[in-house]
């Protein structure tokens, strides 16, 4: 592999890892926020326990979203300085707005939410998770604005050696964005719903004593996954319009892109069939149909797989361009980048992040297995209360 | 507008060292300040609620670098490639230690991740020091850079020591420090970056993005500034020494 392939590989590996965790963050955040809202306004303890249990899964997943995101944030400058050189005046704006206007708030308020149990007034604590949810979606929006600009550099003119932003509105109304964003939101909700569904089915299959808890969770998961799959499929097909207009032939000439698209659609159709036409109609009885639970469990990895295939289709299909029709990937690579540099960082990032990703999934699986009784998030003053109280005197 | 955004950049960079510096310093001192597992738990619990609100300042620095100084961004990050990679890997290892240390029971598990916190924090401090000297020195890594690493490590360790003497007075270091001392140690932690920034100001200003881009950024971000600042203030009000909620088990 030459240095360009290595740099592309690094971006693909870290980007895919990042999205695996981000797609679940986006899917779970609104679910946790809704659970906590129900608890705050109705006061039913089962909703408090649901908030803490699914919230714990959400934050463990979030940890990997952050650390993989750090690499993404700095990677453009490391390997692709030609991009900021040619198009930084345009491409930098949505990324800067994302970090300051969305992620900065998300991280601050997530800290308040995680450590604020039993310290913040209930209403304000609830506000924190809603701010976290809204800013997570704002992040997704700005990242998709930046990505869509690469697919179709709307709102800009070429000034010889650099691109200039002339119409910010056109950047936001990019047709490559308007259909892709709801598609990604649908994918995220489908993923979040599937995880809640799959984990609940596992607990019910094991004849958990927490029947009420997982019955409610399973039903909520099915509903959210249904909304997600409808959005994902509808806006999936809707994307063919703008893609055909701005990147005709993107799936025909590049086998990898075509393959990704084909398998994504296969998985999408399968999930649509199962979720909408089997699980949703029988949602009332599903929690008690033990024979159906293994099917629900087996479905859990599919949305993750489809999401990675989707990005493969979108990004492999863009080659050889980094900015469609304007800047090639080869020209965007940092001049002077060597195979040695990229190989070292590729191995370091892949080894560290890969290992952490495995640990993270094992930890999530363990939370699912141990059930709501063993959750640390939001735990109140515990058995070691007296010792700690003595210390704080 | 150029000056305004340079001010934002400076506040974010110096704010990072002031507000995240003590987390790094405490991570470095973790084996010294917490000789037993309980001792380390106490130190980590003291800094835990501040980490998410602190480390995000560096993400914001990178964002502004990309949005406001796009042509400097590639030059700086690529010019410091090995240092940026070691900074990122250290940061990742430190964060993983914090998030994972309490996720399984067992002393070996927790002690292992405490080691990761310490290692990652040292990596962060040394990478930063070396990078700041390299930036001042035309992007070359020299023996002087390693001395810079030592200076920054010492400054951050001092800031961490002061923070924990403020947050848990008399309990960890044996000393008690007030808010004034904490402010002073924050200035110490931010000083190396401030010196660099002062020197690099003309170069950076010469790389500013055009007015149209800055207008878009101002329009989108400045209205959110009160919420951003408000969130930070709220963190400090909630989790400061008077928040005294040590009875609640820490998540990290
Ligand atoms: C019948 C179902 C589906 C169809 C017709 C469909 C269609 C598409 C198309 C045409 C693209 C490429 C757009 C481009 O190249 O610019 C795409 C991308 C993508 N798809 Fe799908 N898709 C379907 C199901 C799914 C599912 C189930 C998921 C995940 C749960 C998913 C996740 C993604 C992602 C993450 C992308 C990349 C971002 C984007 O372009 O929106 N898709 N999809």
Does any domain span residue A378?
A: no
- Are A120 and B232 within 8 A, CB to CB? no
Kindly list the residues from chain A whose CB atom is less than 8 angstroms away from the CB atom of residue B238: 112, 115-116, 119-120
Among the listed ranges A175-189, A353-367, B111-125, B131-145, which one has the minimum average pLDDT value? B131-145
Classify residue A208 by burial, with Cβ atoms within 10 Å: 0-12, 13-18, 19+.
middle
- Are A349 and B89 within 8 A, CB to CB? yes
Instruction: List the beta bridge partners of residue A158.
Output: A163
Q: Can you give the pLDDT at residue B1?
A: 85
- Are B245 and A119 within 8 A, CB to CB? yes
Kindly list the residues from chain A whose CB atom is less than 8 angstroms away from the CB atom of residue B53: 107-108, 111-112
* Minimum-distance ligand 1 atom for the alpha carbon of A188: 30
Give the integer Cα–Cα distance in Å for B24 and B193.
Answer: 15
Question: pLDDT tier at A388 (50, 70, 90 boundaries)?
Answer: very low
Classify residue A340 by burial, with Cβ atoms within 10 Å: 0-12, 13-18, 19+.
exposed
Kindly list the residues from chain B whose CB atom is less than 8 angstroms away from the CB atom of residue A385: 247
From A148, A257, A264, mutation site for ligand 1 pocket: most ligand atoms within 8 A of C-beta: A264
What ipTM goes with this model? 0.96
What's the token pair of residue A328?
Answer: 């090639």
Share in percent of chain A as helix, strand, coil (round to 5): 80, 5, 20
- Are B96 and A337 within 8 A, CB to CB? no
Angle, alpha carbons A58-A61-A67 (nearest 5°): 135
Model pLDDT for residues B159-170, shown as the tens digit of each residue: 999 999 999 998
Q: What is the mean pLDDT of residues A226-239?
A: 98
Give the integer Cα–Cα distance in Å for A219 and A204.
Answer: 12
The rounded Å distance from CA A34 to ligand 1 centre is 26
Split into its structural domains, chain A has a count of 1
Tell me, rounded to whole angstroms, the distance of Cα A20 from its chain centroid: 6
* Minimum-distance ligand 1 atom for the alpha carbon of A23: 35
Helices (H), A275-378: 293-299, 301-316, 329-332, 339-370
Does residue B230 belong to the interface with chain A, where contact is any CB pair within 8 Å? Answer: no
Neighbouring C-beta atoms of residue B7, cutoff 10 Å: 10
Give the integer Cα–Cα distance in Å for B82 and B178.
Answer: 39
- Are B84 and A77 within 8 A, CB to CB? yes
Question: pLDDT tier at A390 (50, 70, 90 boundaries)?
Answer: very low
Peptide bond into A382 cis (omega under 30): no
Q: B63 vs chain A: nearest CA distance in angstroms?
A: 4
Measured from CB, residues less than 6 Å from any atom of ligand 1 are A 151, 180, 183-184, 187, 190-191, 232-233, 236-237, 239-240, 243, 250, 264-265, 267-269, 271, 303, 306-307, 310-311, 313-314, 317
Does any domain span residue A271?
A: yes
Give the integer Cα–Cα distance in Å for A184 and A310.
Answer: 9
Q: Can you give the pLDDT at residue A124?
A: 96
Contact criterion met (CB below 8 Å) for A90 and A149: yes
The rounded Å distance from CA A307 to ligand 1 centre is 7
Among the listed ranges A311-325, B1-15, B238-252, which one has the minimum average pLDDT value? B238-252
Does any domain span residue A279?
A: yes
Give the integer Cα–Cα distance in Å for B242 and B236.
Answer: 10
What's the token pair of residue A338?
Answer: 């060597």
What angle do the packed helices A3-42 and A45-79 form, to 10 degrees? 160
What's the token pair of residue B129?
Answer: 């020091």
DSSP A374: G
A321, containing H or E segment? strand A321-323
Q: A115 vs chain B: nearest CA distance in angstroms?
A: 6
Q: A46 vs chain B: nearest CA distance in angstroms?
A: 21
Does any domain span residue A70?
A: no
Give the integer Cα–Cα distance in Å for B67 and A98.
Answer: 10
Does any domain span residue A291?
A: yes
Q: Can you give the pLDDT at residue A385?
A: 42
- Containing domain of residue A222, as a range? 179-337
Tell me, rounded to whole angstroms, the distance of Cα A173 from its chain centroid: 22
**Which of A96, A327, A375, A384 is best to mutate for the B interface (most B CBs within 10 A)?**
A96
Q: What is the mean pLDDT of residues A242-247?
A: 95
Give the integer Cα–Cα distance in Å for A393 and A105.
Answer: 34
Model pLDDT for residues B113-140, shown as the tens digit of each residue: 999 999 999 999 999 999 999 998 877 7
Among the listed ranges A3-7, A383-387, B43-47, B199-203, which one has the minimum average pLDDT value? A383-387
Q: Is the pLDDT confidence value at B242 over 80?
A: no
The residue contributing the CA closest to ligand 1 atom 13 is A314
Angle, alpha carbons A31-A217-A52 (nearest 5°): 60
Question: pLDDT tier at A160 (50, 70, 90 boundaries)?
Answer: confident
Q: Is the pLDDT confidence value at B41 over 80?
A: yes
Does any domain span residue A64?
A: no
Give the integer Cα–Cα distance in Å for A43 and A60.
Answer: 26
Q: What is the mean pLDDT of residues B40-67?
A: 95
Give the integer Cα–Cα distance in Å for A254 and B68.
Answer: 36
Which among A66, A100, A109 is the nearest to B95, CB-wise? A66
Instruction: List the beta bridge partners of residue A107.
Output: none
CA dihedral A62, A66, A67, A73 (to 10 degrees): 150
What phi-psi label fits residue B153: left (phi over 0), alpha (psi between -120 and 50 degrees) or beta?
alpha
Helices (H), B137-178: 143-167
Q: Is the pLDDT confidence value at A386 over 50?
A: no
Model pLDDT for residues B215-240, shown as the tens digit of each residue: 999 999 999 999 999 999 999 999 98
The rounded Å distance from CA A166 to ligand 1 centre is 30
Kindly list the residues from chain B whose CB atom is less than 8 angstroms away from the CB atom of residue A110: 52
* Minimum-distance ligand 1 atom for the alpha carbon of A237: 5
Give the integer Cα–Cα distance in Å for A230 and A226.
Answer: 6
Q: B247 vs chain A: nearest CA distance in angstroms?
A: 5
- Are B66 and A95 within 8 A, CB to CB? yes
Kindly list the residues from chain A whose CB atom is less than 8 angstroms away from the CB atom of residue B78: 77-79, 81, 334, 336-337
Does any domain span residue A315?
A: yes
Q: What is the mean pLDDT of residues B140-151?
A: 86
CA dihedral for B73, B226, B3, B17, sign (positive or negative): negative
Give the integer Cα–Cα distance in Å for A381 and B2.
Answer: 50
Does residue B63 belong to the interface with chain A, where contact is any CB pair within 8 Å? Answer: yes
Give the integer Cα–Cα distance in Å for B163 and A149.
Answer: 44
Contact criterion met (CB below 8 Å) for B192 and B155: yes
Does any domain span residue A197?
A: yes
What's the token pair of residue B87?
Answer: 């900074």
Contact criterion met (CB below 8 Å) for A194 and A221: yes
pTM, whole model, 2 decimals? 0.95
Model pLDDT for residues A108-155, shown as the tens digit of each residue: 999 999 999 999 999 999 999 999 999 999 999 999 999 999 999 999
What's the token pair of residue A116?
Answer: 């604020």
What's the token pair of residue A49?
Answer: 């326990």
Which among B56, B67, B78 is the nearest to A104, CB-wise? B56
The rounded Å distance from CA A228 to ligand 1 centre is 12
CA distances from B165 to A87, B1, B114, B177, B248 (A): 48, 40, 20, 5, 20
Give the integer Cα–Cα distance in Å for A133 and A37.
Answer: 13
What's the token pair of residue B89?
Answer: 């890997």
Give the integer Cα–Cα distance in Å for A359 and A365.
Answer: 10
Which among A70, A73, A88 is the nearest to B92, CB-wise? A70
Mean pLDDT, chain B, as a whole number? 93
Query: Using a CB cutoff of 8 Å and minimum separation of 24, what contacts does B193-196 make?
Result: B193/B13, B193/B14, B193/B16, B193/B17, B193/B132, B194/B14, B195/B136, B196/B132, B196/B135, B196/B136
DSSP A158: E
Q: Is the pLDDT confidence value at A321 over 50?
A: yes
From A310, A316, A318, mutation site for ligand 1 pocket: most ligand atoms within 8 A of C-beta: A310
Rg of chain A (C-alpha set): 22
Q: Is the pLDDT confidence value at B106 over 80?
A: yes
């Amino acid at each position: 592999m030459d240095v360009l392939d290595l740099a592309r590989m690094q971006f693909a590996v870290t980007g895919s890892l990042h999205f695996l965790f981000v797609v679940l963050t986006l899917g779970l955040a609104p679910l946790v926020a809704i659970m906590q809202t129900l608890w705050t306004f109705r006061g039913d303890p089962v909703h408090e326990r649901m908030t803490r249990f699914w919230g714990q899964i959400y934050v463990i997943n979030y940890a990997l979203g952050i650390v993989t995101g750090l690499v993404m944030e700095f990677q453009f400058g490391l390997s692709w300085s030609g991009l900021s050189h040619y198009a930084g005046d345009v491409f930098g704006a949505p990324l800067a707005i994302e970090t300051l206007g969305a992620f900065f708030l998300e991280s601050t308020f997530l800290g308040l939410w995680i450590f604020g149990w039993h310290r913040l007034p209930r209403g304000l604590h609830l506000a924190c998770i809603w701010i976290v949810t809204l800013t997570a979606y704002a992040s997704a929006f700005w990242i998709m604005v930046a990505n869509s600009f690469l697919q179709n550099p709307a709102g800009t003119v070429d000034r010889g050696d650099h691109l200039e932003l002339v119409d910010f509105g056109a950047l936001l109304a990019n047709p490559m964005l308007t259909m892709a964003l709801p598609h990604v939101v649908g994918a995220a909700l489908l993923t979040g719903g599937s995880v809640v569904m799959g984990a609940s089915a596992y607990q019910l299959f094991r004849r958990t004593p927490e029947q009420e808890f997982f019955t409610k969770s399973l039903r909520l998961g099915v509903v959210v996954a249904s909304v997600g799959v409808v959005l994902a499929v509808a806006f999936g097909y809707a994307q063919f319009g703008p893609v055909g207009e701005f990147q005709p032939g993107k799936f025909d000439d590049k086998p990898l892109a075509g393959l990704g698209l084909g398998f994504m659609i296969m998985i999408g159709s399968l999930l649509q069939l199962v979720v909408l036409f089997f699980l949703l109609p029988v949602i009332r009885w599903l929690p008690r149909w033990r024979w159906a639970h293994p099917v629900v469990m087996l479905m859990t990895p599919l949305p993750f797989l489809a999401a990675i295939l989707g990005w493969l289709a979108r990004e492999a299909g863009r080659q050889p361009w980094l900015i469609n029709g304007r800047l090639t990937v080869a020209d965007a690579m940092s001049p002077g980048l060597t195979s040695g540099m990229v190989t070292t960082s590729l191995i370091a990032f892949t080894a560290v992040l890969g290992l952490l990703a495995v640990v993270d999934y094992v930890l999530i699986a363990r939370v699912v297995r141990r059930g709501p009784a063993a959750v640390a998030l939001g735990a109140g003053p515990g058995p070691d209360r007296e010792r700690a109280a003595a210390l704080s005197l | 507008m150029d000056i305004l955004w340079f001010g934002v950049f400076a506040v974010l960079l110096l704010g990072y060292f002031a507000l995240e510096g003590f987390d790094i310093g405490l991570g470095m001192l973790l084996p010294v300040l917490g000789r037993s597992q309980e001792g380390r738990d106490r130190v980590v619990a003291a800094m835990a609620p501040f980490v998410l609100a602190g480390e995000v300042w560096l993400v914001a620095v990178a964002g502004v670098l990309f949005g406001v100084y796009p042509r400097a961004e590639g030059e700086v990050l690529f010019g410091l490639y090995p240092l940026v990679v070691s900074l990122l890997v250290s940061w990742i290892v430190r964060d993983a230690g914090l998030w994972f240390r309490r996720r399984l029971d067992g002393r070996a598990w927790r002690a292992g991740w405490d080691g990761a916190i310490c290692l990652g924090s040292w990596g962060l401090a040394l990478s930063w020091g070396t990078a700041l000297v390299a930036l001042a020195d035309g992007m070359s890594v020299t023996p002087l850079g390693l001395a810079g690493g030592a200076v920054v490590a010492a400054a951050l360790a001092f800031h961490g020591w002061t923070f924990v003497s403020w947050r848990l007075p008399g309990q960890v270091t044996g000393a008690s420090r007030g808010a004034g001392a904490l402010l002073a140690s924050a200035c110490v932690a931010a000083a190396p970056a401030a010196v660099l920034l002062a020197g690099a100001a003309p170069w950076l200003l010469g790389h500013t993005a055009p007015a149209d881009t800055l207008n878009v950024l101002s329009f989108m971000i400045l209205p959110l500034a009160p919420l951003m600042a408000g969130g930070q203030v709220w963190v400090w009000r909630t989790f400061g020494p008077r928040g005294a909620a040590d009875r609640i088990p820490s998540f990290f």
